[in-house]
Amino acid sequence: MATALIHMPASAKAGEIIEVRALIAHPMETGYRPGSDGKPIARDIIRRFECKYNGKTVIAADLHPAISANPYLAFFIKASASGPLEFTWSGDNSFTQTERKQLTVQP
């Protein structure tokens, strides 16, 4: 299981634009690098990132082997209603991790 760090405000005013930053600790092995035995290390990358706000996708990104280890994504959303933000990373070897953060929107 990878470690995910998500930074965002816990609350915002209605209509306010907030920044969301998400980082996940993952080696992002391309499958091209040789291991200590000279054989290529098996490919293991995160292939997709998606964030949903109150069940609706607000950002989705397809990731490729050129993305560095420990991928970091930052984006902005408009706070419209209180609800959860759900962050999902998925990739090779049946890797899937989901984290949730609650956003409280004040009138």
* Separation of alpha carbons 69 and 49, rounded Å: 14
Q: What are phi and psi of 65, to 5 degrees?
A: -55, -20
Identify the pLDDT of residue 66: 86
What is the average pLDDT score of the chain?
95
pTM of the model: 0.91
Q: What are phi and psi of 84, to 5 degrees?
A: -85, 150
The whole-angstrom distance between residue 98's C-alpha and the CA centroid of its chain comes to 8
Identify the pLDDT of residue 89: 97
Residues 29-78: pLDDT tens digits?
A: 998 999 999 999 999 999 999 999 999 999 999 999 888 999 999 999 99
The count of other CB atoms within 10 Å of the CB of residue 100 is 11
* Separation of alpha carbons 83 and 56, rounded Å: 11
* Separation of alpha carbons 103 and 82, rounded Å: 5
Computed on alpha carbons and rounded to an integer, the radius of gyration of the chain in Å comes to: 16
Identify the pLDDT of residue 65: 85
* Separation of alpha carbons 61 and 27, rounded Å: 18
